[in-house]
Amino acid sequence: MRIARIKPEAVNPDKRTDVDLSLIDSVIERYKGKKGNLIPLLQGAQTTYGYIPKEVFDKIALETGLKKNDLYGVATFYAQFRLSPVGKVVVRVCHGTACHVQNATVITEDLQNFLNVKDGETTEDRLFTLESVACLGCCSLAPCMMIGEETFGKLNGKKAVDIVKSIKRKESLDNKPNQAKPELWKA
């Protein structure tokens, strides 16, 4: 059942990074009082923080008058919402039908070995979170994975690990100025 996917992470009060609650003001401003606003509010919160911190539930409930249990009920129903922080880079391996019959299992296994995490977990350095999704809509390039908004197709275990490796390398050079080529096709 859907609720089964929620893994409550023990919150260690000392380890908590302070959540800047003012970041969410503009989202609340935008959706407050509008009908059907609950999911967009939570989506806004997640875009802001990468997950939905407990304090943010409190704040949204207080300022919009929505019930906290409704907010929490919705947040735990949909796969998109996270209640604990994720890594900087989320790697989403497709386990749709097309990818499954083309051996997507191996990709997850190899990435698990490389990153030393289980499915749904975040690496210790908080750089990567490994997730499974059902179909990215690129089934003809199966098996696929999505990192950020970029999709990679026709993978095998090695290719997937190489892609993650190269991101890791780039991230470790992060404080150097960004020399990536501009992507003209996006313009």
Partner 1 sequence: MESIKITVGLGSCGIAAGAGKVFDEIVRIKEADNLKFDLAKTSCIGMCFREPLVEIKDETGSYLYGDVDVKKIDEIIEKHIVNFSPIKEYIVKSDQFDTPYKEYFDAQVKITLRNCGNIDPEHITEYENRQGYKAIRKITSEKTPPEDVIKSVLDSGIRGRGGAGFSTGMKWNFARNSKSDEKYVVCNADEGDPGAFMDRSVLEGDPHSVLEGMIICAYAIGATHGYIYCRAEYPLAVKRLNLAINQAREKKYLGNNLFGIEGFNFDIIVKEGAGAFVCGEETALMASIEGQRGMPRKRPPFPAVKGLWKKPTNINNVETYANIPWIILNGPAAYSQYGKEKNRGTKVFALTGKIKNGGLVEVPMGITIRDIIYKLGGGIINDKKFKAVQLGGPSGGCIPEYLADTSIDYESVTATGAIMGSGGMVVMDETTCMVDVARFFLDFTQKESCGKCTFCRIGTKRMLEILTRITQGEGKEEDIPALEELAQQIKDATLCGLGNSAPNPVLTTLKYFRNEYEAHIRDKKCPSLYCKKLLTYEVIPDKCTGCVVCKRGCPVGAIDGDKKIVHFIHQELCTKCGDCYSKCKFDAIKIS
Binding residues vs partner 1 (CB under 8 A): 1-5, 35-40, 42-43, 70, 73-74, 77-81, 95-102, 133-142, 144, 146, 149-154, 181, 183-186
Cβ-contact 118, 99 below 8 angstroms:
no
What is the side-by-side order of every strand in the sheet holding 89-94? Answer: 128-133, 89-94, 145-147, 150-152
What does residue 123 show for φ and ψ, rounded to 5 degrees?
A: -65, 160
**Span 107-136, contacts to ligand FES by CB under 6 A:** 135-136
The nearer residue to ligand FES, 73 or 137, going by C-beta atoms, is 137
Residues 64-103 contacting ligand FES, CB under 6 A = 94, 96-99
Exactly one of 41, 75, 142, 160 binds ligand FES (CB under 6 A); which one?
Answer: 142
CA 86 to chain centre: 6
For residue 34, how far is the Cα from the chain centroid?
26
CA distance 130 to 122: 7
- By beta-carbon proximity to ligand FES, the closer residue of 56 and 94 is 94
Q: Is 106 in the site for ligand FES (CB under 6 A)?
A: no
Query: Minimum distance between the CB of residue 123 and partner 1, rounded to whole angstroms?
Result: 22
Write the burial class of residue 99 (CB in 10 Å: 0-12 exposed, 13-18 middle, 19+ buried): buried
Instruction: Pick between residue 26 and residue 113 the one whose CB is nearest to partner 1.
Output: 113
Residue 167 contacts which entry, ligand FES, partner 1, none (Cβ below 5-8 A, type-dependent): none
Query: DSSP state, 24?
Result: G
For the bound state, the minimum distance from the C-beta of residue 186 to ligand FES, rounded and expressed in Å, comes to 21
Query: Please, which residue, 77 or 121, has the CB nearer to partner 1?
Result: 77
